[in-house]
Amino acid sequence: MTIKCTTAIGIAVLVLGLPLSLQAQDKAPERWLPNLITETPQEGFELAVKLSRMGVKSTQPDKEVLFRERAKYAQNGEALMHASEVVAIHFQTVAAANSYWK
Amino acid sequence: MTIKCTTAIGIAVLVLGLPLSLQAQDKAPERWLPNLITETPQEGFELAVKLSRMGVKSTQPDKEVLFRERAKYAQNGEALMHASEVVAIHFQTVAAANSYWK
Amino acid sequence: MTIKCTTAIGIAVLVLGLPLSLQAQDKAPERWLPNLITETPQEGFELAVKLSRMGVKSTQPDKEVLFRERAKYAQNGEALMHASEVVAIHFQTVAAANSYWK
Amino acid sequence: MTIKCTTAIGIAVLVLGLPLSLQAQDKAPERWLPNLITETPQEGFELAVKLSRMGVKSTQPDKEVLFRERAKYAQNGEALMHASEVVAIHFQTVAAANSYWK
Amino acid sequence: MTIKCTTAIGIAVLVLGLPLSLQAQDKAPERWLPNLITETPQEGFELAVKLSRMGVKSTQPDKEVLFRERAKYAQNGEALMHASEVVAIHFQTVAAANSYWK
Amino acid sequence: MTIKCTTAIGIAVLVLGLPLSLQAQDKAPERWLPNLITETPQEGFELAVKLSRMGVKSTQPDKEVLFRERAKYAQNGEALMHASEVVAIHFQTVAAANSYWK
């Protein structure tokens, strides 16, 4: 574990320390959030799920680590509820942006 | 546990990596959230409970895992309070959408 | 613990899987939230406490389990603070619904 | 610990199961929240602290347990931050109620 | 640890049990929050940090314990993120109070 | 661990105890938050990520510790979700400041 850990730190420092241009393949200038308006509440909910995932990705852009960790917390009730909480917070924002689809 | 874990990761990567069309039997295009308006505050509360569960499902669409994990945290006070917290956040949204039923 | 756990899962799957009509004796159509308006801020606070408990009950309708778990977290400072957090979130909603009793 | 725990459960079930009238000496009809308006932001902050404590008390009215648990989490950085979080949520409500003292 | 723990409880009960006038040297009538208005968003953020710390102080006024605990969670990523969360909640309040500095 | 811990406490007490002017090289008067207005929702999301990091930095200004801890929680699903939660809270503020980019 110590070796793995040290490597992890090494990679993370690299990722965090690199100029954004070098991290481009993962989280780059790609336009993923044109606006917060959706047709229906359900699409708004899906956008909230997406925002929640992009929040995770902003801290850990490495897809392999993301998949490994998502696999773990997808098997854990408490973690799933935490994911649901973040979706709920984003859904507040999206719903307000859409004037609650009224 | 290692075997189980590896399998879990395998499945999760599959689930997360598959195009949405192939995950259709579980979380598919089914319309579950037509709008946020409810007749009464109590129905609004029930909608908040539903939104909270759909948030969990968005991360873990496998019903078997969902039931297994729900069974576990339904036996744990701290986890139950966490579930209640997510309901509370969604209830804020639903209540605002209904102008607090005034 | 394994036996208990399996039983718990069994019960939970049953509870979650049964049609609502069969769970009627516990969380049924009983009208418990006619509206969010209260006479005073203090009654609003009490309503927030009630909403927080109903959130817990929505995940675990079995009163025996509820009492057992409430008894445990009522003895734990961190858990008590979590309960207070959920009350705080609901109190935001109730206070807004009452225009802050102004 | 087993004995203590069983006793605790016993007491809690009693407390939770008793009609409110019999719990009167602790959390009773005493009027502690006449309104949310304060003269200054700082008094509003103090009200938020009070609301946070009343939230804890709503789950655990026994002062002895409250003091014992408060003593424990007052010695723990993570728990202190959690207390600060609940104050922050209530401060949002109080600040909005006072139109941010503008 | 048992001895330390008992002492800690003893002190805390004392602190919590003493009339406010005797705790005066630490959290006293000193005016620290004249209003929520700041010149710039950045000063608003700094005010949010201050509010978050005052929330901690409201539960634990003893500076020595505060410094000891802050030192510990300042070395822990999860705890640091929790601190950041409380700042985020207070920043919502301060930003709203300043009409988002528009 | 005891030695490391004691040193950590020593450093933290120093950092927290020093006048702000002496901590200048890290979190100093540098202007990092001119305003909350962004061109697009996506830039607003990036600002929310930045605010979340500055919240962490406000408690732990030492970059070395920050990188070490970020490396650790970037490898942990639960911690990543917590980071995502803080981003979500800040995104609410930024989105409101921009009238949801409508």
Above 60 in pLDDT, residue F90? Answer: yes
Would you state the pLDDT for residue B28?
53
Identify the residue among A60, A82, A98 best suited for mutation to test binding to F, counting F beta carbons within 10 A and taking the highest: A60
Q: Which of B64, B60, B65, B53 is nearest to B90 (CA)?
A: B53
Q: Min CA distance, F78 vs chain E (Å)?
A: 9
Q: What is the pLDDT of residue A30?
A: 87
Q: What are phi and psi of D40, to 5 degrees?
A: -130, 160
Task: For chain A, list the contacting chains (3+ Cβ pairs, <8 Å).
Answer: B, F
Spatial CA neighbour of B88 closest among C66, C58, C41, C100: C58
Measured between beta carbons, the chain A residues lying within 8 angstroms of F40 are 33-35
Residue matched to tokens 């778990």: C69
| Cα–Cα distance measured from residue B98 to residue B36, given in angstroms and rounded to the nearest whole number | 7
Express each pLDDT in C28-38 by its tens digit. 568 999 999 99
The minimal CB distance from F80 to the residues A9, A15, A60 is found for A60
- The per-residue pLDDT of chain F, averaged, comes to 79
Q: How far are the Cα atoms of D64, D75, D102, E5, E91 from residue E59, in angstroms, in the given order?
A: 17, 10, 28, 17, 21
CB A44 within 8 A of CB A98: yes
pLDDT at B25 over 60: no
Mean pLDDT (chain E, rounded): 79
CB contact under 8 A, C78 and D83: no
pLDDT tens figures, D21-77: 334 444 456 899 999 999 999 999 999 999 999 999 999 999 999 999 999 989 999
Instruction: Give CA–CA dist E27/E54, Å, rounded.
Output: 9
pTM of the model: 0.78
Mean pLDDT of B50-61: 96
Structure tokens of B95?
A: 């209540």
**What's the token pair of residue C35?**
């509206």
Q: Which of F71, F81, F85 has the CB atom closest to A79's CB atom?
A: F81
Residues of A in contact with F76 (CB under 8 A): 69
What was the pLDDT predicted at D17? 33
Name which of B23-32, F48-57, F69-78 the model is least confident about: B23-32
Whether chain E has a CB inside 8 Å of the CB on F14: the answer is: no
- pLDDT tens readout for residues F1-28: 333 333 333 333 333 333 333 344 444 5
Chain D residue with minimum CA distance to E67:
D77
ipTM of the complex: 0.74
End-to-end CA distance of chain D: 53
Q: Record the tokens describing residue A67, joined without a space.
A: 């998949």
- List pLDDT tens digits, range C29-69: 689 999 999 999 999 999 999 999 999 999 999 999 999 99
Distance from CA of C64 to the nearest CA of B (A): 11
In this prediction, residue B29 has a pLDDT band, given cuts at 50, 70 and 90, of low
Q: Residue B102 in contact with residue C98, Cβ under 8 Å?
A: no
Residue with tokens 């009960």: E13
Distance CA A44, CA A41 (A): 5
Q: Which residue numbers in chain A have pLDDT < 70?
A: 1-29
Better-predicted residue by pLDDT, E16 or C71 = C71
- Which of B62-76, C5-19, F21-35, F83-97 shows the highest mean pLDDT? F83-97
Could you state, in order of their start, the residue ranges of all structural domains in chain F?
3-101
Q: Where are the alpha helices (DSSP H) in chain F?
A: 2-17, 24-27, 41-59, 63-73, 77-97
Arithmetic mean of pLDDT, B50-58: 97
**Confidence label for B30 from pLDDT (cuts 50, 70 and 90):** confident
List the single best residue of E6, E16, E35, E59 to mutate versus D (max D Cβ within 10 A). Answer: E59
Q: B 31-90 residues with CB below 8 A of A?
A: 31-37, 51-56, 58-60, 65-66, 69-70, 72-73, 79, 82-83, 85-86, 89-90
Q: Are A84 and B79 within 8 A, CB to CB?
A: no
Question: What pLDDT does E94 receive?
Answer: 98
The pLDDT of residue F83 is: 97
Name the minimum distance, in Å, from the CA of A23 to any CA of chain F: 15
Using the Cβ of A24 and the Cβ atoms of chain F, whether some distance falls under 8 Å is answered with no
What confidence tier does C13 reach under pLDDT thresholds 50, 70, 90? very low
Q: Which of E8, E58, E79 sits opposite D71 (nearest CB)?
A: E8
Cα separation, A57 vs A34, whole angstroms: 18
Q: What is the mean pLDDT of residues B84-91?
A: 98
* Cα F72 to Cα A6: distance, rounded to the nearest angstrom: 10
Give the phi and the psi of residue F57 in degrees, each rounded to 5.
Answer: -65, -30
Least confident stretch, A46-55, B86-95, D15-24: D15-24
Pick A72 or C21 by higher pLDDT. Answer: A72
Quote the pLDDT of residue E29. Answer: 65
Return the pLDDT at A11: 35
Q: Are B55 and A74 in contact (CB under 8 A)?
A: no
Amino acid letter, residue C19: P
pLDDT value of residue A19:
37
CA distance E3 to F35: 52
